[in-house]
A and B are shown apart, each in its own frame.
Chain A
Amino acid sequence: DIQMTQSPSSLSASVGDRVTIACRASQSISTHLNWYQQKPGKAPKALIYAASSLQSGVPSRFSGSGSGTDFTLTISSLQPEDFGTYYCQQSYSSPLTFGPGTKVDIK
């Protein structure tokens, strides 16, 4: 199985800050990497697919980059509604696997 790790596990940032979340795969997954945002009590929401493509309706302050084993989710200017937990997920091979999540709090 491909193991996904994320760092940091949590962060606290101010409105307007640039936020970066890292995701690493245990082996190369090309660009088969997706990002989700989850708020408490809600289902995950797809943000980014194929490492860098923005899902329809997702604000342009969200962006993704990377290939191989190392990936990054960036929020260019953190907004109050961006709190929640962010997960990466690989779709390169079965079983599909998710990272443990990064919790983002607003200062």
Chain B
Amino acid sequence: QVQLQESGPGLVKPSDTLSLTCAVSGYSISSGNWWGWIRQSPGKGLEWIGYIYYSGSTYYNPSLKSRVTMSVDTSRNQFSLKLSSVTAVDTAVYYCAIKGPDSFDHWGQGAQVTVSS
């Protein structure tokens, strides 16, 4: 069964870059599927950030596109998120997930990221 695990700093300073990695087990990223990031904050609810294919193709939420970069490392079976120029509104729980033809079928447990000096 596929499992996903987010990792990265829990505290990021304003204007810095948030970096998270999602390690995938029980399934090869290279087998296909899109791999996504979603965040959840009390103020904005669930917000889709974007997703990436194992080949590197990406789709980003237009509202975040200028600050988001996603990448995939097939050798380590993981994918990553970078969000630049963060502010307090980027404070959220960040989830990685595998996207099926329609829904996000399996999710990681989530990583709390707080933006504060």
A interface with B by C-beta (< 8 Å): 32, 34, 36, 42-46, 48-50, 53, 55, 87, 89, 91, 94-98, 100-101
How far is A87 from B46 in the complex, measured between Cα atoms in Å? 9
Given known pairs A94-B61, A95-B62, the reply for A49 and B45 (CB within 8 Å) is no
Give B48-86 as 1s and 0s: 1 = Cβ < 8 Å from A's Cβ atoms: 100000000001011100000000000000000000000
Interface size on B, residues (CB 8 A): 20
B: residues with CB less than 8 A from A are 45-48, 59, 61-63, 95, 100-110
Among B48, B62, B63, B106, point to the contact of A46 (Cβ < 8 A): B106
| The 5 A-B residue pairs with the shortest CB-CB distance in the complex, in nearest-first order | A34-B103, A43-B107, A98-B46, A96-B48, A49-B103
